[in-house]
Amino acid sequence: MKCRAFVLATAALCLGFGDGVREQSLRDAAQRSGMLIGTAVRPARLSEAAYASTLAREFNMLEPEDVLKWEVVHPEQQSFDFSQGDQIIDFAARHGMKVRGHTLVWHQQNPKWLTEGKYTSGELAQILEKHIKTVVGHYRGKIFAWDVVNEAFDELQLGKLRSTIWRDQPGIGLAGDGTSYIERCFRWAHEADPQALLFYNEAGAEVVNPKSDAIYAMVRDFRQRGIPIDGVGFQMHIENLRADVASISANIKRFTALGVQVHITEMDVALPVDPSGNPRPEDLQRQADIYREVATACLSHRGCTAIQTWGFTDKYSWIGSHSKQTQGAALPFDRNYGAKPAYAALRDAMATGRR
């Protein structure tokens, strides 16, 4: 779209710049609406000029996609490797962006020394406490919000806690005690950085369903008992071009009513692609509608404060390998960093702001 200041509808999307005008970025639009717009980042790509410039221009927040997961940051029991995480922090600092941390407690992407180590519950509790306090402590004052626990609820037995190394295999010693192990993790994170906002992050709990009901009960209980939880992250990986936005909105409403923030943490909208990775043109518009509707739902609740996409260019997205290359094209920019209809939709929703 060309930016013409004399067209009224378009003028709202333009910023004056001397004699000329330039189009408002997604970041500008979000900033004006008081929103955080973020994306997942792979530090190895920061040396690619188009990657770095798009990232800095369009987003005011970022999150390491993989490099703060255990297998990268804690490769040996006695050693931590913050080098890649630190690159992201440096980039964010240079460009005035906030950083979300992901993730301290998860059942995936854990190192072999941990998963094959045959530790007792007592030993695991010590290992986990040390991990949380070391990682959160390293980034104290630099990472403003953490996904403390990720995907603790089961995929198939909806509403039940997942069986994991941290809960009951053998767990950190609280296996018979419901969400107590999660509570313990939040307390440890809070001790390491009392200023950081602490989030519970989940997949498949975007709508009102048995999984989000169980998370709702946990968060309500934590809030009532003063456990330090500040927010809930809904991942928002959307498949089959299906999003029940009314239910997403109702869900955001009930969570924010508990006094916690909601962040949309990992949004992408996967499209079927041909063997060359190309989507059908008509699907791009439907994809844009979903981005717009989800962003508008978030903006309609004051406590929904951030929208983040899981990567920003179709050149680098987990959807391809995750779907054996049958799905892709899930992000707002194409493989050449060209803005897709989804980008304009997201920016329009941000520019419209809260209603």
For residue 293, indicate whether it is catalytic: no
Question: Which tokens in the block code for residue 339?
Answer: 């803005």
Pairwise CA distance, residues 183 & 335, whole Å: 41
Binding residue count for ligand XIL, defined by CB under 6 A: 7
Min CB(215)–ligand XIL separation in Å = 15
Given the residues 58, 65, 202, 266, the one annotated as active site: 266
Cβ-based nearer residue to ligand XIL, 98 or 322: 322
Between 125 and 238, CB nearer to ligand XIL: 238
348 binds ligand XIL (CB under 6 A): no
Q: Indicate the angle between helix axes 341-352 and 281-299, nearest 10 degrees.
A: 20
Distance CA 158, CA 54 (A): 39
Which residue, 201 or 305, is less far from ligand XIL as judged by CB?
A: 201
User: Exposed, middle or buried, 76 (CB in 10 Å: 0-12/13-18/19+)?
Assistant: exposed
Give the SS3 label for residue 104. Answer: strand
- Which residue in the set 28, 58, 63, 65 belongs to the binding site for ligand XIL (CB under 6 A)? 65
Residue 151 known to be catalytic: yes
Helical residues (DSSP H) of 120-276, grouped into ranges: 121-138, 180-192, 210-224, 245-256
Please, what is the end-to-end C-alpha distance for the chain in angstroms? 25
Q: What is the DSSP string of 266-323?
A: EEEE-EEB-TTSPBPHHHHHHHHHHHHHHHHHHHTSTTEEEEEES-SBTTS-THHHHT
**3-class secondary-structure state, position 195:** coil
235 binds ligand XIL (CB under 6 A): yes
337 counts as binding ligand XIL under rule CB under 6 A: no
Report in angstroms how near the CB of residue 311 gets to ligand XIL at its nearest: 7
Under rule CB under 6 A, which residues in 111-170 are in contact with ligand XIL? 150
Is residue 66 a contact point for ligand XIL (CB under 6 A)? yes
Peptide bond into 170 cis (omega under 30): yes
28 binds ligand XIL, rule: CB under 6 A: no
Residue 28 or 314: the one with the smaller Cβ distance to ligand XIL is: 314
Tell me the closest approach of the beta carbon of residue 235 to ligand XIL, in angstroms.
6
CB of 122 to ligand XIL, least distance (A): 28
Q: How far is the CB of 21 from ligand XIL (least distance, A)?
A: 37
Is residue 24 classed as helix, strand or coil in its secondary structure? coil
Candidates 318, 337, 344, 352: give the one binding ligand XIL (CB under 6 A): 318
- Which residue of the set 63, 151, 202, 206 is catalytic? 151
Q: Which residues are catalytic?
A: 151, 266
Chain residues that interact with ligand XIL, rule: CB under 6 A: 65-66, 150, 203, 235, 266, 318
